[in-house]
Amino acid sequence: MQKKKTFEWDVTVDLLKETFILFSTWKILLLVSGIAPLLLIVLDLFEGFFALERLKEYLFIYFMISGILTILLLLGYYLLFIPFSGRNYQLHFEMDTKGVTHTVSDEQCKKSKRLARMNMFLGNAEKCPQTAGSGYLASSRQSMYTSFQTVQKIVAYPERNRVQLIDAFQRRNWVITRQGEYHMVMDHIETYCINATVEKRE
């Protein structure tokens, strides 16, 4: 029996129950928080001033930055993103033998763009290019495509009906399935992601 080669489906994600978007963003913020302390350590090593006391100071800087960013992330997610975008996040998926695309619904995209434009306005008002730039990127992005040929790692969550595809540039694309269709979608992904390793998590 020939396997089905094209799939198309819609899912609704409850942002209060499914917090993987929040945790994925949080992990990125933790990495970003370590950039400044790491640069200071490298400069100290080059100048020969590195000492244990200074390492403690740099760790304090790291935890302070990561703590502030974590608080801002939680406030922004629960007080801005969910109220403006809605608790239910609607996604559309299309998948064939070459890759998979997830697309935000038109209604959801309009809500996200309104929030992104607010972010751009605040960034320009505060003369903060990082904030304005993130708002611009968010407002211009409605879909994401991942080619199966570029996927290097597949992280599977069978209990949660979702799969994360990580390509050579460390870009991550979440594939969320409907109830009862996870194994069918996962089999298709494993068949055509010939260069990828698979890691299963709960």
CA distance 181 to 189: 13
CB 45 within 8 A of CB 4: no
Could you tell me whether strands 197-200 and 151-157 are parallel, antiparallel, or unpaired per DSSP bridges?
parallel
* Model confidence band, residue 111 (pLDDT cutoffs 50, 70, 90): low
- pLDDT above 80 for 133: no
- pLDDT band of 163, cuts 50, 70, 90: very high
Residue 201 pLDDT more than 80? yes
The greatest distance separating any two alpha carbons of the chain, rounded to the nearest whole angstrom, comes to 69
- Kindly report the CA angle at 202 between 34 and 190, in degrees rounded to 5? 95
Q: What tokens appear for 62 in the block?
A: 């790291």
Specify the DSSP class assigned to residue 180. T
Q: Are strands 172-176 and 88-95 parallel, antiparallel or unpaired?
A: unpaired
pLDDT reading at 193 higher than 50: yes
Distance CA 110, CA 121 (A): 16
53-87, pLDDT tens digit by residue?
A: 778 888 888 898 888 888 988 888 888 777 877 78
Q: Domain extents for the chain?
A: 17-86
Burial status of residue 21 (CB atoms within 10 A of its CB: 0-12, 13-18, 19 or more):
middle
In sequence order, the β-bridge partners of residue 145 are 101
Task: DSSP for 15-47, please give it.
Answer: TTT--HHHHHHHHHHHHHHTHHHHHHHHHHHHH
> What is the token pair recorded at 60?
């304090």
Q: pLDDT band at residue 93, thresholds of 50, 70 and 90?
A: very high
Cα distance between residue 163 and residue 189, in whole Å = 9
Residue 118 identity (one-letter amino acid): M
